Amino acid sequence: MKRLRRLRMTEPLRRLVREHHVLPQHLIQPLFVVEGDRQRQPIASMPGVERLSLDELEREVEELAKLGLGGVILFGLPNHKDDMASAAWDAEGIVQRAVGVVKRAAPQLVVVTDVCLCEYTSHGHCGVVREGRIANDPTVELLCRVAVSHARAGADIVAPSDMMDGRVAAIRQALDETGFVDLPILSYSSKFASAFYGPFREAAASAPAFGDRRSHQLDPANLREAIRESLLDEGEGADMLMVKPALPCLDILRELRTRTELPLAAYQVSGEYAMIKAAVHQGWLEERRVVEETLMAIRRAGADVILTYFAKDFARWTNERA
């Protein structure tokens, strides 16, 4: 008789035939950085996540490197916002200085920067607004400036998250022309217009003042279009692709895994984090087991790299066990 339970009977047997693994080195911790000193500002809808000033950032990344995490992705809260997002490509901007801090304090970590304008525009949109709409090509020009400024600051990977058309090709060209031919692009290639980004917009103060992001982010109804977006970005020169959010898009990840040979990332976003934290707070879910299960599901679906606010906790749990 076929008895599949035979290989499930003991932990050593289960370990022997385990198909997928999640390790700290696969994970990227998102970090929010603010101006000032000794700042650790809590975010109400993301318990356990804080906005850090650069001195606190230094301490934090030393710890993350010791835990063996793969890297960090940085989001900045500038003091100054305007309709051109000029703080986003300022050589002395908050993210640009943060990159320097991380590279000095924790050279083992891969430093990813998020290339977008929404945290830097006065209206909270991801681009230049003309006649109430986001103008694609003028926005792409600004994104190129942002990417090059992150490259100059020392970023290891730039990750455009804006979903404008043609931005990967334009950023590749801008990086090549400024001498950054070896700097990889991780494209947020299949990014959906998702309600799960809500808490992030509190954390990064980037909620749009009017309208929403549906003129550029993907319709959650569309799988084929999501695959098309990612394959287009591959054609434009992306080195890695990303699906976002993660758990609501495991089908997209799985499908994309069969359609490209590029490494894939998935972003377990702020709302996915908040949802688990809320249930844990109520005593309804067991945090560690639920987090480990979601991360495993995301790896199983096809992600090589996972961006998650649980990265540090996961690495701690893993190190405790070892």
Residue 244 known to be catalytic: yes
Contact 67, 319 (CB under 8 A): yes
192 is an interface residue for ligand PBG by CB under 6 A:
no
Position 190 contacts ligand PBG (CB under 6 A): no
200 binds ligand PBG (CB under 6 A): yes
- Decide whether 270 or 294 has the Cβ nearer to ligand PBG: 270
Q: Are strands 40-42 and 50-52 parallel, antiparallel or unpaired?
A: antiparallel
**Cβ partners under 8 Å of residue 186, min gap 6:** 112, 157, 158, 159, 238, 239, 240, 241, 242, 265
Exposure of 232 by Cβ count < 10 A (0-12 exposed, 13-18 middle, 19+ buried)?
Answer: middle
Judged by CB under 6 A, the stretch of 55-63, 135-143, 196-204, 286-294 that binds ligand PBG is 196-204
C-alpha to C-alpha distance for 254 and 298, rounded to whole angstroms: 9
**By the rule CB under 6 A, 314 interacts with ligand PBG:** no
Cβ-contact 275, 199 below 8 angstroms: no
Cα dist. 191→156, 175, 223, 291, 299 in Å? 22, 23, 11, 22, 18
Cis preceding linkage at 245, omega within 30: yes
Q: Answer yes or no: 191 catalytic.
A: yes
**Does 270 participate in binding ligand PBG (rule CB under 6 A)?**
yes
Q: Which residue of the set 2, 66, 81, 244 is catalytic?
A: 244
Span from 21-29, 110-118, 173-181, 233-241 in contact with ligand PBG (CB under 6 A)? 110-118
Binding residues among 72-101 for ligand PBG as defined by CB under 6 A: none
Asked if 161 is part of the footprint of ligand PBG (rule: CB under 6 A), the reply reads yes
Q: Which of 33, 61, 118, 246 binds ligand PBG (CB under 6 A)?
A: 118
Note whether 134 binds ligand PBG by CB under 6 A: no
Binding of residue 116 to ligand PBG (CB under 6 A): yes
d(CA 276, CA 302): 22
Residues with a catalytic annotation lie at 191, 244
Q: Which residues bind ligand PBG (CB under 6 A)?
A: 114, 116, 118, 161, 197, 200-201, 213, 269-270
